[in-house]
Structure 1
Amino acid sequence: MKRDVKKTQAANGAIRIISGQWRGRKLPVMDVQGLRPTTDRNKETLFNWLMAYTQDSHCLDAFAGSGGLGFEALSRYAKHVTFIELDKKVARNLQQNLETLKASKESAQVLCGDSLGYLSQLNDKFDLIFLDPPFNKNLIPKAIDGIEQNSLLAQEGLVYIECETQNAQYKVPPGWRLLKESQTSQVTARLYQG
C-alpha cells in the first residue's frame, strides 16, 4: 500500500535531449499513469537511423507523452513538429517545455486531444511520423489506418513504430517498406518508409 501512495506522490521525472542544438538539456516530465518515455538507448538508436532524414523535416509525434521523440527531432533541426497529447496536464507540460527551449511558434505546435481523432482531421503531409502509443491499448492498427486513409505520410516519408513485443503483429500498408528493426523481449521498434 505504501508503494502506491509513494507512486502517486512521486516527483516528476525528466527526459534528456541526446544531440543537436539542445544536447544534454533535461526537460521535466509529468508523472502520469501510462506515460512511458522512450529510453535514451532506444532514442539514440532511432535517431542514428534517422540521421539523414531529420533536418528540415515536418514531423508528427502522434502520441507525444513526454515529447521525447519530437523534442529530439527539433533539437536536430527538424523544421516543424506537431505534438498530439490526450492528457491536458501533459499537453500543458509539452507547451511549457517548448517555451523553456525557446522554440519558435513556427517550429512546433501542441494539439490536446485524442490522437486517433486528430489523425482523421489533419491536412498536413509529414516526413517523419512517430507512433509510440500507451502500451496494451491496441492503438497501432487504428493509427496506421488513420495515417493511410488521410494520406498523412509524405512521399518517401518515414514512420517509426514502438510497441510492446507481444502486440507487434500489426499490418502495414503494402507501400510501406521495413527499413530497420530493433527488438527486446518487451519492446519492438520498427522504421518504415512509405
Structure 2
Amino acid sequence: MSPRSKTSPASKGELRIIGGQWRGRRLSFTAEEGLRPTLDRYRETLFNWLMFDVEGARCLDLFAGSGALGLEALSRGARHVDFVDASPQAAQNIREHLKTLGCQQAGVHHRAAEAWLKQQAQAATDLAVEAYDLIFLDPPFHKDLLQPCLYLLEYQGFIKPETKLYLEAEADFNASRLPEHWHVIKQKTAKNKIFFLLECPTPRP
C-alpha cells in the first residue's frame, strides 16, 4: 500500500503486476487520499524473498489498499487471498480488478482490519480459524493500527508454524514491538519505511 499521499477524489491511480500469469497487466483504480500501491521495486524484492512460498498459499492482505500485494500473490499461483480494507472504494477497486482478471480465488472484505479479525475469530468459536500461509500487513503509517492486529493474529488462530508475514512500516518502527518469538527472516530499509519478512512459530498459549 505504501505511505498515504494526497490525491483528489476523482483522480486515477495505476498498478502493474510484475510477475506470474498476469505479468505486465496494468490495472487502474480510483485513487483516494493516501492510497498508493507498494512500488514495483519493493514488490519485486518481497516476491523474490517469497519465491518458494507463494504457489498454493492461502494469503491474507490486511489494509489491502489497491490490492497490489494480494493480486501479485494470485498472479504467482496463490490458492486464495482474502483482501481486507476499511475503504468502500478500495474494496470496490479490488473487486473490479478480480473481475477484469477473471479471478475467483479471492474474498474482498470491506471492514477495518482489527474489526474483521475479531469478527472472524468470533464466528469460529466452534470451529478453528483456518490459518494463513502468508500474511501481508501494510497499515497506514503513524496510526497505531498495528499492535491490535498483531495480537489478534498471534492469539486467535490466524497463524500456524512457519506462517510468513510481510510487514511494511514507518522508518522509525522498532522491531521490539513485534512478538519476541517471531523470527525476522529478511529486513530492508528505504527512505521513509522499513520492511520485514517474518516467520511466525507456533503461537504461545
Q: CA RMSD in A?
A: 1.5
Pairing of 1:42-191 with structure 2 (within 5 A): 42-104=42-104, 107-122=105-120, 123-169=129-175, 171-191=177-197
Partner AA of 1:146 in structure 2: L
Compute the displacement of 1:35 (Å).
1.3
Scaled by the length of structure 1, the TM-score of the pair is 0.91
Structure 2 unpaired stretches of 5+: 1-5, 121-128, 201-205
What number of residue pairs does the alignment pair up?
187
How many angstroms apart in 1 are the aligned matches of 2:171 and 2:9? Answer: 30
Q: 1:9 to 1:80 in 2, by over 3 A?
A: closer
How many angstroms apart in 2 are the aligned matches of 1:7 and 1:112? Answer: 21
Compute the displacement of 1:118 (Å).
1.0
Checking the alignment, whether the CA contact within 8 Å between 2:7 and 2:32 is kept in structure 1 is: no
How many angstroms apart in 1 are the aligned matches of 2:115 and 2:39? Answer: 27
Q: 1:170 to 1:12 in 2, by over 3 A?
A: farther
Compute the displacement of 1:36 (Å).
2.8
Partner AA of 1:182 in structure 2: K
Q: 1:179 to 1:169 in 2, by over 3 A?
A: closer
How many angstroms apart in 1 are the aligned matches of 2:60 and 2:7? Answer: 31
Q: 1:9 to 1:89 in 2, by over 3 A?
A: closer
Q: Structure 1, residues 58-111: CA drift from partner, whole Å, max 9, x if none? A: 00001100000000000000000000011111101110110000002xx10000
Partner AA of 1:118 in structure 2: W
Checking the alignment, whether the CA contact within 8 Å between 1:140 and 1:170 is kept in structure 2 is: no
Structure 1 unpaired stretches of 5+: 1-5
Q: Which residue of 2 aligns with 1:17?
A: 17
Task: State the percentage of identical aligned residues.
Answer: 41
* More off after superposition, 129-138 vs 52-61: 129-138
* More off after superposition, 51-60 vs 113-122: 113-122
Q: Which residue of 1 aligns with 2:126?
A: none
